[in-house]
Amino acid sequence: MGAKLSRRDFLQLAGAVGGSNAVFRAAMGLGLLAPVARASKPELAKPAKPRKVLILGAGISGLTAAYELNKAGYEVQVLEASFRAGGRNMTVRNGDRIDETGYQQVCNFDKDPDLYFNCGPARIPGHHQNLLNYCKELDVELEPFINDNRNAWVQDDAMFGGKPIRAREYMSDSRGFVAELMSKSMKPEQFAAPLTAEDYERLREYMKYLGTLDPSFKYAGTSNAGLAKHDYTNPDVLKTPLDGRELLKSKFMAIMNFGETDDQAAMMMEPVGGMDRVPAGFMRKIGHLVQLESQVQKIQVLPKGVEVTYRRNGEYTKVKADYVINCIPMHLLAGIEHNFAKEHAAGFLAVPRGKLFKIGLQMKQRFWEDEGIYGGISWTTQDIQQIWYPAHGIHRKKGVVLAAYTFDPNAGEKFARLAPADRIKLAIEQGSKIHPKYGDYVETGVTVAWHQMNHMLGCAAQWDEELWKKWFTKLQAPQGAHYLVGDQVSYHPGWQEGAMASAHHAIADIDARERAAGKAVHA
């Protein structure tokens, strides 16, 4: 190519050849765009002197820290209170124990690699770079996870008498209804920014595409809402648009963009065989450093190092370490003896604990596939809130469906108060509004009330803007050689990526201290 390309020409050319992804990569190369996410993993130096780090908790943050510090040459010991590693990253299969403080359960799914249930994290977005890097490094095989399925159902007692409709109908018809109203009623003078006649026309065009309106700006239905029937030997017949006023009665409007949000948009992934392949991958490397069933009772920050007392088989043992990385949920840490500064410890009581609740049901038949649903989520305004259909094991006989996943703490409480069999009964009752013969397919189930699970007693910390402003820095700041970590000390609670970022933050600080100390020795 003889003529010198301008930057813009180059990007256009790259787009023509390689599509938008090529443009994106090229633009990144030219320094025009920030990368989507940057892994936070620090490069650790080998400590100049032998250093022991005691890690409290073998959840994702603890395992991450243990793995990296061990690799860098630190002596590492991990104390885990539970009988299992992984923390809230928990997958259950045939025979697994669900250790709720009150109601103990055993998972009775058939013994089958596709019949598992991710009780905690269940999906990974493409920009969770730390987690994805670890999956790669630890040979955790990934497959696509279907989060958003327009063929799935939306059910709300407030609209159409509670009759479920396809998500694609809700979204297309409500957008059509709103776009038609807006494009017919909006006037240039209503906008704060001055619009030229051309701007205004473009805006109307945009509304036309947004709502799939006809040339006269009328919404007359769209194939986006699904055809009346899929008979490809005859002309397409559109569904009659649903009554827009009825659609707007549904609270589904608040969640309809769920599959477009930063962490929930395609392409999502999950480990083949269950999310607990992630901790299993870490455990393959550092499992020998993890001591289970060891519950911490006391933490004393010393002038140098930290002393921890734990209880195992009824015996109390003291361990001293140069550093402690503490992943214990703050609301439990509040009940452990310690000598932290008041302004640090007060934060443990300030941030409320989450109360998410999930149910997994083994279905004897993958009936949802007969309804054209392969993976994804149906939404309801009932307490169960969601039904997830597995995207793995398609066309096999059975499958495990997520039959409840509550975000509202009151709904979580409501389920948690019931005995497991009654929780399942309630979930079946509610699910039957979406799939009429739902209960007939249920063989067995598991229920997970995170705020009643042993060693957890809560889900993601419930931060808000005020709390973050007031407490985050105080909680993140080390107490001597003691670091509080976990997704609870991140701006991404409830995600493994947040846990990893927090662990990285702490080990980077330890590394900096050790490097500084090493220099002092050599000077």
Partner 1 sequence: MNRATKSLLGAAVALVLAVSAGADNKFDYCLLCHGANANGNAGIRAPKLSGMEPWYLTRQLENFAAGVRGTPGGDDSGHEMGPVGWRVKHENVLGDAVSFIGGLPSAKPVATVTGDVKHGKQLYAACAACHGAKGQGNEQLNSPALAARSDWYLVTQLKNFRAGLRGADERDTYGAQMRAVVATLADDKAVADVVAYINTL
Residues at the interface with partner 1 (CB under 8 A): 81, 100-104, 293, 295, 297-298, 311-314, 330-337, 348-349, 353, 413, 416-417, 419, 451-452, 454-455, 457-458
- Smallest gap from Cβ 314 to partner 1, in A, equals 4
Please provide the DSSP assignment of 316-343 as one string.
Answer: EEEEEESEEEE-S-HHHHTTSEE---HH
Which is nearer to partner 1, 316 or 407 (by Cβ)? 316
What are the two backbone dihedrals, phi and then psi, of residue 269, each rounded to the nearest 5 degrees?
Answer: -135, 165
Say how far apart CA 436 and CA 387 lie, in whole Å.
14
Residues in the chain: 523
Instruction: Tell me the β-bridge partners of 252.
Output: none
Which is nearer to partner 1, 220 or 349 (by Cβ)? 349
Peptide bond into 253 cis (omega under 30): no
Instruction: Tell me the β-bridge partners of 79.
Output: 56, 291
- Smallest gap from Cβ 408 to partner 1, in A, equals 14
Quote the strand ranges of 46-151, DSSP E. 52-56, 75-79, 91-92, 97-98, 105-106, 117-118, 124-125, 142-145
- Smallest gap from Cβ 413 to partner 1, in A, equals 6
Which is nearer to partner 1, 239 or 344 (by Cβ)? 344
Which is nearer to partner 1, 181 or 457 (by Cβ)? 457
Say how far apart CA 396 and CA 415 lie, in whole Å.
30
Give how far Cα 260 sits from Cα of 37, 256, 270, Å: 17, 9, 18
Which is nearer to partner 1, 316 or 468 (by Cβ)? 316
Instruction: Tell me the β-bridge partners of 76.
Output: 53
Which is nearer to partner 1, 103 or 374 (by Cβ)? 103
Say how far apart CA 284 and CA 63 lie, in whole Å.
11
- Smallest gap from Cβ 150 to partner 1, in A, equals 37
- Smallest gap from Cβ 434 to partner 1, in A, equals 27
Torsion of CA 328, 329, 333, 335, to 10 degrees: -130
Which is nearer to partner 1, 25 or 417 (by Cβ)? 417
In eight-state DSSP terms, residue 92 is: E
Helix ranges (DSSP H) in 159-237: 167-185, 197-210
- Smallest gap from Cβ 298 to partner 1, in A, equals 6
Say how far apart CA 424 and CA 159 lie, in whole Å.
26
- Smallest gap from Cβ 86 to partner 1, in A, equals 17
Which is nearer to partner 1, 206 or 316 (by Cβ)? 316
- Smallest gap from Cβ 98 to partner 1, in A, equals 13
